[in-house]
Chain A
Amino acid sequence: MSNATTSVPPPTRTAATRNLGLIAIVGSIILALLGLFFTAEDVDQGSSVRIMYVHVPTAWVAYLAFVFTAVCSAGHLWGKKHSLNLDRLAGASAEVGVIFMGVTLVTGSLWGRLSWGTYWQWDPRLTTTAFLFVTYVGYLAVRGLGGTQQQRAKRSAIVALFAVLEIPLVHFSVLLWRSLHQEATVLRPNGDVTMDGLMLFSLIFGVAVFTVIFAWLVLHRNRVLALVDAVELRGIDAALEARRAEEVPS
């Protein structure tokens, strides 16, 4: 691809996405400064706690992405118009969620190597998280099956509504079973948060930054998917026209 082509802004860009992108970049830089330099080391875990500022926010925003996928899917299934835009939003959100969940698994694995001395254990939290990741990879595979856009939307919406039920299982796995993974530090059932002020602020700030990144990516991806659908419909229309032209008796 030539430099001239890559320098052209993508057709999915608007003022809103440009501003979101800028906020995401500036926020990420501030988060890196907070997480890597300004926050204190943990009493027990030392500097390895710095992985928390990316590991936990990506996990939470991945949950958010999958819940958003389910909400959009429900909107498509039970809405009067059976909106394809809601279906595309669901697909875009699931894609971003899978990326964030993948990041959670990789960063968690590296953190585990430092804390537990191993990259992986078949621990309830780790196993259910991996299962959730694989489920949504499957959801994306279902979206790629053949059929019309309405067929794609309906079958993937049904899968999304079942898949989202796994999230409570993942979140409460550390309470339901004996787990190597620590219990929740912030979202505890009793509401008690035991964390240093700047550490807690950085963690919440990380969640905000990754939420902005999520919104930015989903907006762009939703528009790309709309373009893909439009091109596909034009291709079908062109093929039908060609077939009709062939059927005209000479």
Chain B
Amino acid sequence: MKHADFIVISWVLSFVPIALYAWRNARRARQLDPFVDKSDKPWT
């Protein structure tokens, strides 16, 4: 691998896990939503 590849891979590997975690959280929230009511979501 070239020098620049290490740098680009480092940056990509920094943000991809964060994006995947955020996406997984949003999906889980949508899955749970039908089983709760408004009182379970005081932030709304």
Count of chain B residues near A, Cβ 8 A: 28
**Residues of chain A lying within 8 A (CB to CB) of residue B27:** 1, 6, 10
CB distance A14 to B44 under 8 Å? yes
**Residues of chain B lying within 8 A (CB to CB) of residue A213:** 18
> A18 at the A/B interface (Cβ < 8 Å)?
no
CB distance B10 to A220 under 8 Å? no
CB distance B6 to A224 under 8 Å? no
Interface of A is mostly: helix
Q: How far is the CA of A121 from the CA of B21 in the complex (A)?
A: 29
- Determine which of A5, A51, A106, A220 lies in contact with B25 in the assembled complex, contact meaning CB atoms within 8 Å: A220
CB distance A48 to B25 under 8 Å? no
Q: How far is the CA of A14 from the CA of B28 in the complex (A)?
A: 16
* Complex: chain B residue closest to A106, CB-CB: B13
Q: How far is the CA of A9 from the CA of B33 in the complex (A)?
A: 11
Q: Mark A28-52, 1 if CB is under 8 A from B, else 0.
A: 1000100110000000001110110
A-B contacts, 13 of them at CB < 8 A, read A10-B30, A48-B6, A50-B7, A103-B17, A106-B13, A110-B9, A110-B10, A114-B6, A213-B18, A223-B41, A227-B32, A227-B40, A234-B35
